[in-house]
Amino acid sequence: MSKRVVITGMGVAAPNGVGLENFEQAIRTGKSGIKFQEKLKELNFSCQIAGEPEIPQEMLEQYFSPLQLRGLNCSGIVYGTIAGTDAWKDAGLPLKNPEEPDFDSGIIFGTGLLGADKFREAIHLIDAGKTRRLGSTSVLQTMASGVSTYLNTILGCGNQVTTNSSACSTGTEAVLMAYDRIKSGKAKRMLAGSCGDSGPYIWGGFDAMRILPHKYNDKPEDASRPMSESATGFVPGSGAGALLLEDMESAQERGAKIYAEVLGGHINSGGQTGGGSMTAPNSKAVQRCIKKALQETGIKPEEIDGINGHLTATAMDPTEIENWSQALGRKGENFPLINSLKGMTGHCLSAAGSIECVASLLQLKKAFFFGNINSEDLHPQILKLIGRRKVPEKTQELKLTTIAKASFGFGDVNAVVLFRSV
């Protein structure tokens, strides 16, 4: 028996805002969270800027005990724990019952590379023959599923608890995986999200690939330029987003607030064929992913009135717009409004999809469409295909019905999810 699935809670730790209220205000006003990073300059990075959530000590103490904070050296777990706990509380759900697990609730919380700083610390200690100084949490902080495991020490879920990893598609994929589990009746609630570590050990490989902007170290807020003619690469970022998915019947029974309905979506891969590669998507696969998302949800192309794209501020941005236009059969004034969060946050890698899902749902619930900062010199190909009005520079107050959120990740992997207001 197929269940309807809704979002009843959200949490976020983004470079431009930690917590839903701060994040909403930031995206409404076009606030950038991209800043100069002294540590990157000291390490001779070409790109010395990044988006990194600001987590003051007093905030850490709200989520972690003194014992947990001792030896905690994994920013991804910090971001994920804050976002996931906030989403759970925002949904009005109780924390762990120490006597019995909640068998109706589970967690799918993804990541890319987790615990890089902890790995470095462990390697030095082991090489120095000081293994016993690693501490009791080193395994938890370095295993991929550490973030889901850490969250479950707080939540006590007894359903599926796992971690997925699909590069930049991770967060959006987690939402769709959680949706499938609830729709099939295998769970009533699933906490879905993703997180990503921050720091030079995460961002260094991208700097080496020369795909990060290096001419904006003295003006970081101007550096991330999705859909812009002057875009020169993505700015690295980090953080976490979390969403509590629940079957509608359960949500209504307990009188939960509902942000939107998850209509479903599609996940696929371009197989790194037909022009697709480790770093570039196969356009045929992207278009198929969009079309399949529509088919599987019963949504017509003309019903999409907003798109939150992947749009990383690279040379692939015009291609992404072309793919949307081809898949939807819409262009010019007939094209939906489209925006990219990455102008404000940079590309948060494995955390990007979940943070951007939170932004998409805030827009549906609060009736606005945030503007695209740094897009004043819109790429000529995009301008020709869909026009300036469809890429607003300033936030618009308007009621949207259906938003498509897409993530197209390293390795030629794709995920598209559709949300509808209720």
User: Which domains are seen in the chain, by residue range?
Assistant: 5-260 (3.40.47.10), 265-420 (3.40.47.10)
**pLDDT tens profile 32-52:** 999 999 999 999 999 999 999
**pLDDT tens profile 348-384:** 999 999 999 999 999 999 999 999 999 999 999 999 9
Could you tell me the two tokens for 19?
């917590």
Average of per-residue pLDDT across 94-107: 96
Average of per-residue pLDDT across 8-20: 98
d(CA 153, CA 157): 9
Q: What is the mean pLDDT of the chain?
A: 96
Could you tell me the two tokens for 105?
């609730």
**pLDDT tens profile 403-414:** 999 999 999 999
**pLDDT tens profile 57-86:** 999 999 998 988 888 888 999 999 999 999
Percent above pLDDT 90 for the chain: 90
3-state SS class at 15 = coil
Query: According to the model, what pLDDT value does residue 227 have?
Result: 98
Handedness of CA 20, 26, 30, 31 (dihedral sign): negative
Query: According to the model, what pLDDT value does residue 1 have?
Result: 65
Where residue 2 falls among pLDDT bands split at 50, 70, 90? confident
Q: For residues 200-228, b (16+ Cβ closer than 10 Å) or e, as one string?
A: bebbeebbeeebbbeebbeebbbbbbbbb
Query: According to the model, what pLDDT value does residue 71 have?
Result: 85
**pLDDT tens profile 222-277:** 999 999 999 999 999 999 999 999 999 999 999 999 999 999 999 999 999 999 99
Query: According to the model, what pLDDT value does residue 371 have?
Result: 98
Q: How far is CA 249 from CA 4, 66, 246, 365, in A?
A: 8, 39, 8, 20
Average of per-residue pLDDT across 312-335: 97
Average of per-residue pLDDT across 176-189: 98
Query: According to the model, what pLDDT value does residue 397 have?
Result: 98
Kindly state the helix (H) or strand (E) to which residue 250 belongs, with its residue range.
helix 248-253
